[in-house]
Amino acid sequence: MIQGLFEYPWGWFFSKVLSPIGSFNIGMWTYIAGFISKWGVLWAGLTLLAPSWLPGETAVGTAAQVLPALMVSVFVFIFGSLFVVTQQATMIHSNRASLLLIYYRPVQQIVVRGLVMALATLLLSAIVPDGDVGAGVAAFTLVLIMATAFTLTGAAVLLPLLMSQTTAPGNFALFALDPVDEYLATEGTGLVVFRVGALGEMLKRGVRSGDSLQIREALRGLHGLHEIYIEISEDYPSARKHEYESGVAEGWLGNELVPFLVSAGQDAIGLDIANEDCNAIAAELA
């Protein structure tokens, strides 16, 4: 565990500090702290060093009226887009796709940005005075305008990327494997187990639909997960152990992986899919 702390500090933080409480919730607070700190430094710099750059009273008043409605709309847009992405990935590949998205750090980050900005713009509308606007409020307004543009741009870039990562079979398999080595090295097997199920469901859906590409990419993802498990277990023996409600299981990957491969193989025989796909499933099971 100590070695994992130094090689994978962020993964260790998630698995050992955040997971017992809920890594998604605590991860949100982590992002909030970083996001506010970054823009807080800019606010202080504008207030103290560049007062001539600050907007006037009319601009501040207009921003206080426009920004809250705009950020609420952006927040709704982010959640609506994530819902569409999740729905598509769930329909195409696996019901567990939503878990992959929840634990994907850029998704956590964009949600936090929208939430913080929506609250900050509401705060702006409450603190703008009727008379003269101080440098602090004017700087706060300018920072909010810049942060809103940053948040909207980030959402516009991330959401199409998520769609491509979670719909194409090859991209989805890579998406599921992205942080596996980090979690295994830091005893975060709880964040890996459901990825086996996600790829296993993807395999079974490919078999039932006769989609050779989906079958091939799902098997490639499961094989890659197996290789990462073996590689990490050599340096971090704790990666072989996972705690279920019934107790601790050693060599847990086999318990998770084999049932999906056996079930997919049985479906492949019953549905009479291509021999190459049947052989590939059998080879992975062997």
Q: Pick the residue with more confidence: 72 or 240?
A: 240
31-54 b/e with 16+ CB inside 10 Å = b?
beeebeeebeeebeebbeeeeeeb
Q: Which two tokens stand for residue 91?
A: 């329909």
With a CB cutoff of 8 Å and minimum separation 6, the contacts of 41 are none
Average model confidence (pLDDT) for the chain?
83
d(C-alpha 191, C-alpha 10), whole Å: 14
Neighbours of 223 (CB within 10 A): 16
**Residue 24 pLDDT > 50:** no
Cα–Cα distance, 88 to 82 (Å, whole number)? 10
Q: Is the pLDDT of residue 169 over 80?
A: yes
> Does the pLDDT value for residue 12 go beyond 60?
no
Q: Is the pLDDT of residue 6 over 60?
A: no
pTM of the predicted structure, to 2 decimals? 0.76
